[in-house]
A and B are shown apart, each in its own frame.
Chain A
């Protein structure tokens, strides 16, 4: 059973960019723990204190647009985020999240955003491509991963992926 459970943090904003996720001055830092402290600093300076290991993010479309900095998924992973639910992701962020094995970028219908509130408990079922909002007992479909992404996710990142 491929099921994740956690609390969701809602930032209902489109185009949350990499400069917000991890601002430029931190690009020189490559210590993952240190990057985690500054995750989402451009949007919510208290972000890192709110997150527990295994939590999820819920955001507007085109999450992670902007730069190729792998610091972005690293910082979010380090602070505890394991999956992001969004109607769409910018391509490099999506690749980095999956190929580095940091977190799961999960595409949802944009109508689902309004059916999930900040701090709701969610269950993500990757085998059946469903999420259940445990707080409201409502279920929603998620967009299945393309085959290649599914294989890389199962392998635990690009390093272990066999063509």
Chain B
């Protein structure tokens, strides 16, 4: 029996010829990431372990570790400011050079940096202290989110246990209309399989639509595999992947693809030619319907941000709708990384946003996780390009968030209501 790409990467990393689902392997790790929430969490674990007599004078390989400041930047208060100082001292102590600092050149949301900076390569195993680490699987890598203890263990040993997941294959075919984005496709999938539909499993995306998707759009699919509970989301690397990496890294890699006779636990086939724009209602990403079904529902705020919904192409789609118009509700645009912010300025996108009356802010996870920089009030209703809408996710526990594509969110910004983007793309 052949192996899927996920199985092949795990077999290679654990020095085995073959693995099958449910095998437990100890896999060597290629890349590790922590941010300003998981980093201090790992530092706490390190200090507990040191009290127990564990020697942590050095870590396994500082060159394979990178650090981002994204959740609580700009520092929201003294505690988060102290966390940044703690993180800075820690990266100095362990000689971690790739520390992307707020206010010091390139920085941004960790998952965006992972691809924007070409930090993770096809065929690699990458673990990050954040659940949306799945995003980076679009590069043809095995990208898995872990907690503080597991990341601390990897930093000490360079390896960790994994149960080999079953893989669900999503075959997405058909010509993608210009009003449909990857966000619509992944929301539709989550609506079909539910928020635990892929729990402990790998979600692999393929089909002629995926082949033609840009790298940034592919990243939206893998990002939200997390919302279906998946261990990882993955797309086999191809020319689109290699072309994307060409300008971003000189590092060499050996791409891995699944065998033709690989076995999948389930296969779902989608024809997206007739898909209508999709929206997820409060309070779950699986709670979906067509945008048209909610047409006219009043909204208080439009949020364009996060690793899922503020990549350069997302901002281009928003600009397409906002160009020459004025927003009717509070509209916030936060590019996902400094490099994307700068490109958006050079392309004239930021001028379009400002002329439309939106505010443009620095890259941060801030409001997406309800932490700071624009959280929602009680009863406030937000439409957002982000990935979660659990109770209290973006602020007060009685606020509401609708999840949708950048096109749908931009259309709502213009009308102040849930609006089919086709009506604003004329």
What's the least CB distance linking A35 to chain B, in Å? 11
- Assess A61 versus B145: contact at CB under 8 Å? Given A17-B390, A19-B388: no
A77-107 near B? 1/0 per residue, CB < 8 Å: 0000000000010111001100110000000
Residues of B within 8 A of A1 (CB): none
Q: Could you say which of A15, A96, A147 contacts B149, with CB atoms under 8 Å apart? A: A96
For B148, what are the chain A residues with a Cβ–Cβ distance below 8 Å?
70, 96, 100
Q: How far is the CB of A25 from chain B (nearest CB, A)?
A: 6
Q: Does B62 contact A (CB under 8 A)?
A: no
Residue count of chain A within 8 Å CB distance of chain B: 37
Which one of A62, A69, A88 has the highest number of Cβ atoms from chain B below 10 Å of its Cβ?
A: A69
Enumerate chain A interface residues (CB-CB to B < 8 A). 15, 17, 19-20, 23-25, 27-30, 42, 61-62, 65-71, 73, 88, 90-92, 95-96, 99-100, 146-148, 157-159, 163
* Cross-chain contact of A19 among B38, B79, B133, B392 (Cβ < 8 A): B392
The verdict on A96 contacting B54 (CB below 8 Å), with A20-B392, A25-B371, A42-B397 known, is no
Given A24-B371, A29-B79, A159-B49, A66:B388 Cβ within 8 A: yes
In the complex, 7 of the A-B residue pairs with CB atoms within 8 angstroms, ordered by the A residue number, are: A19-B393, A27-B72, A66-B390, A70-B38, A73-B147, A99-B147, A159-B52
Interface string of B71-115 (1 = CB under 8 A from A): 110001101100100000000000000000000000000000000
B150 and A95 within 8 A (CB): yes
Nearest A residue to B24 via CB reads A148
Contact B52 A65 (CB under 8 A): no
Cα-based distance from A95 to B229 in the complex (angstroms)? 13
B-chain residues with CB within 8 Å of residue A20 when the two chains form the complex = 390-392
* A92→B149 contact, CB < 8 A: no
On whether the beta carbons of A95 and B80 are closer than 8 Å, the reply is no
- Assess whether A158 is in contact with B24, with CB atoms less than 8 Å apart: no
Given A19-B393, A90-B229, 9 more A-B residue pairs with CB atoms under 8 Å apart are A19-B390, A20-B391, A27-B371, A30-B40, A68-B133, A91-B200, A92-B147, A96-B150, A99-B147
Secondary structure type dominating chain B contacts = loop
Instruction: Give the Cβ gap from B186 to chain A, nearest Cβ, in Å.
Output: 16
> Assuming A23-B392, A99-B149, A146-B163, is B196 touching A61 (CB within 8 A)?
yes
The CA-CA distance from A24 to B163 in the complex, in Å, is 29
Which residues of B lie under 8 Å from residue A91 when comparing CB positions? 199-200, 229, 231
A-B contact count (CB 8 A): 125
Contact A99 B392 (CB under 8 A): no
B370 touches A24 (CB 8 A): yes
In the assembled complex, B421 has its CB within 8 A of some CB on chain A: no
- Contact A68 B231, beta carbon cutoff 8 Å: no
Contact A92 B145 (CB under 8 A): yes
Q: Does B146 have its Cβ within 8 Å of any Cβ on chain A?
A: yes
Q: Which residue of B lies closest to A17 (CB)?
A: B390
Is B264 positioned at the interface, with any CB of A under 8 Å from its CB?
A: no
- A100 and B199 contacting across the interface, CB-CB below 8 Å: no
Count, chain B residues at interface, CB 8 A: 49
Q: Mark B198-226, 1 if CB is under 8 A from A, else 0.
A: 01100000000000000000000000000
A148 touches B149 (CB 8 A): no
The 5 closest A-B pairs by CB, nearest first: A96-B147, A70-B147, A24-B369, A62-B196, A24-B370
A148, B80: Cβ atoms closer than 8 Å: no
A30 in contact with B41 (CB, 8 Å): yes
**Smallest CB-CB separation from B393: which chain A residue?**
A19
| CB-based nearest B residue for A97 | B147
Check if B83 sits within 8 Å of A95, measured CB to CB: no
Contact between A157 and B149 (Cβ–Cβ < 8 Å)? yes
Contact A27 B149 (CB under 8 A): no
Hey, which chain B residues are within 8 Å of A29, CB to CB? Answer: 79
Choose from B38, B71, B83, B195 the contact partner of A65 (Cβ within 8 Å): B195
B153 at the interface (CB under 8 A from A): yes
Q: How far is the CA of A70 from the CA of B154 in the complex (A)?
A: 15
Picked from B131, B153, B369, the residue with its CB within 8 Å of the CB of A92 is B131
Interfacial chain B residues near A147, Cβ < 8 Å: 24
B150 lies within 8 A of A99 (CB): yes
| Partner of B370 from A25, A28, A69, A70 at Cβ < 8 Å | A25
Most buried by B among A25, A73, A148: A25
Does B129 reach chain A (CB closer than 8 Å)? yes
B161 close to chain A: CB less than 8 A: yes
- Asked if B425 is at the interface (CB within 8 A of a chain A CB), the reply is no
- Nearest A residue (CB) for B160: A158
Nearest B residue (CB) for A72: B147
B131 contacts A158, CB within 8 Å? no
In the bound complex, residues from chain B placing their C-beta under 8 Å from that of A88 are: 196, 199
- B38 interface neighbour in A66, A68, A100, A163, Cβ under 8 Å: A68
Nearest Cβ on chain A to B147's Cβ, whole angstroms: 4
B323 contacts the other chain (CB 8 A): no
